[in-house]
Chain A
Amino acid sequence: MSKETLKKIALPLLVFLFIIQFWSGISKMVEDFPTPSDTYIAAFGGINVDGDEITGVLANPFYINNQDDKGIFWQIVASLKRVFAGFALAIIVGVPIGLFVGMSKNAQYALDPFIQIFKPVSPLAWLPLLLFIFQDINMTAISTIFITSIWPIIINTALGVKSVSEDYMNVAKVLRFSPLERIIQIILPVSVPYIFTGMRLSLGIAWLVIVAAEMLTGGIGIGFWIWDEYNNLNYNNIIIGIILVGLIGYLLDLIMGKIADYFDYTKKGRA
């Protein structure tokens, strides 16, 4: 093992130990705050501090007792479904708008102020309005994700279109490409890496939004689950929830990154 690899393993391990220490410190100071070992048992099962035998959230993730009581796996699946629905909608609508804004100065002048104004609006601000419109948990969560994650896609797609060099457009002009041929043969290949950067940012936002949205809308989903565990005084599970949300978010970003690399012509042919 090289020295570099050793460092990459040892240094995070040191930080991990420090976090565990810090966490133990907090649980000594705050009454009822779960200790690391409590949390471990709550996650993987064992005998808890009260002497009761418990199964653990992660040890039995697939159970379905009834419509309102399902294992953590189903909570996550429910959240992911909403995230991907909202995200897919944001791509379908956002990419064409981005192409339009990037290709037309007039479109840019017309739309840019509104993009800039809506972009920083928190999902929590949209939520009541959308809940009022749809009166439905799923539709509200999906539309909140859509409206907050569409902006990076529009902005980055437009940026990609603007990065198309004049030289490539000159080639297209000499060959008398139609507008559609210009988009397909020149503009899209250049913009794809930018579009994927936008999609990556957008998916990150979508995953952030879902937790907050589900806390407010209720029903099923990882966000609701965390809130529900708070109401049930299962503080262990809140921490498990946080770690899970972080891990899944990281995984989503990793996958998006791989897909982006695959479509990025600048990263092809030099493996």
Chain B
Amino acid sequence: MSKKFLSLENIEKRFPIHAKDDYIAVTDVNLEIKKNEIVSIIGHSGCGKSTLLNMISGLDAQTNGDILLENREIIGPGPERAVVFQNHSLLPWLSVYQNIEMAVKKVMPELSPQELRERVEKFISMVNLEHAKDKLPDEISGGMKQRVGIARALAIKPKVLLMDEPFGALDSLTRANLQEHLMRIQQNIQNTVIIITHDIDEAVLLSDRVIMMTNGPAATIGEVLEVNLQRPRNRVELQNNPEYIRCREAILSFLYEKFAKEDE
């Protein structure tokens, strides 16, 4: 079980601000993530959780420390670490189908036209968007766009799915709907997922483990919480589940008692 899959070792990120001293955003982060585990990283804004995700995706380079995926060091971004961006980042001149097709075509050039079409359509139906596949991103709702973003990321068969506040820009009903989508997909195709979030319920509902970050500067991992809840999980039934309540309270007390943040 504890086979090393993704590991972060002594990660530090500094941003140069003056000639002399740097701003230390994140420091001393050590984390091991198992295969097919769903982990969320939670913290107040400015705690460097997005910086951390950007370093795992390779879009940003860490100043010190190593990130290893299957014992190989991560250098730069790549499709084995697919990213679902907060603002979906669909190309607005391509249809839903073409957005996914473009990614699959690039990452799996060996597919025949037939296989390519089947793969794209499989992932479109996974997020229930068959009816919208020829629409442009501007013609569909925010929640649908994010579903396309998820389908695009999963279609390139990543080893790790990185989600940067994936539902942060959506209203709470749409967000709940997308969480259900994500849990259902995860039941079908097991994946390793890292979710950045600031939503406590989302963190508990979706994750096997919740990583809680202290406040910046020099933010680091404060506590790690195991969520021992059976899957599939049902958000309504969970409301009275003792384990769910325990997890929620643990995060609440971490965020609002131990590391409360003043409004700036």
Which residue numbers of A lie inside 8 Å of B, CB to CB? Answer: 167-168, 170-171, 173-177, 181, 185-186, 189, 265-266, 268-270
Contacts and interface: CB of A to CB of B under 8 A. Distances in A.
Contact of A170 (B83, B103, B135, B139): B83
A170 B164 CA distance: 13
16 contacts: A167-B85, A167-B89, A168-B91, A170-B85, A171-B85, A171-B89, A173-B58, A173-B59, A175-B102, A175-B107, A177-B106, A185-B102, A189-B91, A189-B93, A268-B136, A270-B138
A26 to B, nearest CB: 52
Nearest to B153: A174
Which residue among B79, B85, B93 has the maximum number of chain A CB atoms within 10 Å of its CB?
B93
A269 B138 contact: yes
A181 B91 CA distance: 14
B91 A186 contact: yes
Contacts of A268: 93, 136
B58 to A, nearest CB: 8
Nearest to A189: B93
A254 B199 CA distance: 52
Interface of B: 57-59, 76-79, 81-83, 85, 87, 89, 91-93, 102-103, 106-107, 135-136, 138-139, 156
A207 to B, nearest CB: 30
B89 A168 contact: yes
B129 to A, nearest CB: 16
B91 A171 contact: yes
Nearest to A190: B93
Contacts of B79: 174-176
Contacts of A186: 91
B83 A269 contact: no
Contacts of A176: 77-79, 106
Contacts of A170: 59, 77, 83, 85, 89
A235 B195 CA distance: 77
A185 B85 CA distance: 19
Which residue among B76, B78, B82, B91 has the maximum number of chain A CB atoms within 10 Å of its CB?
B91
Contact of B139 (A174, A175, A181, A269): A269
B89 A265 contact: no
A168 to B, nearest CB: 6
A186 B102 CA distance: 11
Given A173-B59, A181-B106, A268-B93, 14 more contacts: A167-B87, A167-B89, A168-B91, A170-B59, A170-B85, A174-B59, A174-B82, A175-B102, A176-B78, A265-B93, A265-B136, A269-B136, A269-B139, A270-B139
Nearest to A174: B77
Contacts of A269: 135-136, 138-139
A170 B102 CA distance: 14
A174 B83 contact: yes
A270 B156 CA distance: 30
Contacts of A177: 106
Contacts of B91: 168, 171, 185-186, 189
B93 A173 contact: no
A249 to B, nearest CB: 31
A174 B57 contact: yes
B168 to A, nearest CB: 14
A106 B235 CA distance: 54
Nearest to B103: A175
A173 B138 CA distance: 23
A191 to B, nearest CB: 11
Contacts of A189: 91, 93
A195 to B, nearest CB: 14
A208 to B, nearest CB: 33
B137 to A, nearest CB: 10
B56 to A, nearest CB: 12
A168 B58 CA distance: 15
A95 B135 CA distance: 30
A187 to B, nearest CB: 11
Contacts of A185: 91, 102
A168 B82 CA distance: 14
A266 B85 CA distance: 21
Contacts of B135: 269
A268 B91 CA distance: 14
Contacts of A171: 85, 89, 91
Contacts of A175: 79, 102-103, 106-107, 156
Nearest to B86: A167
A174 B92 contact: no
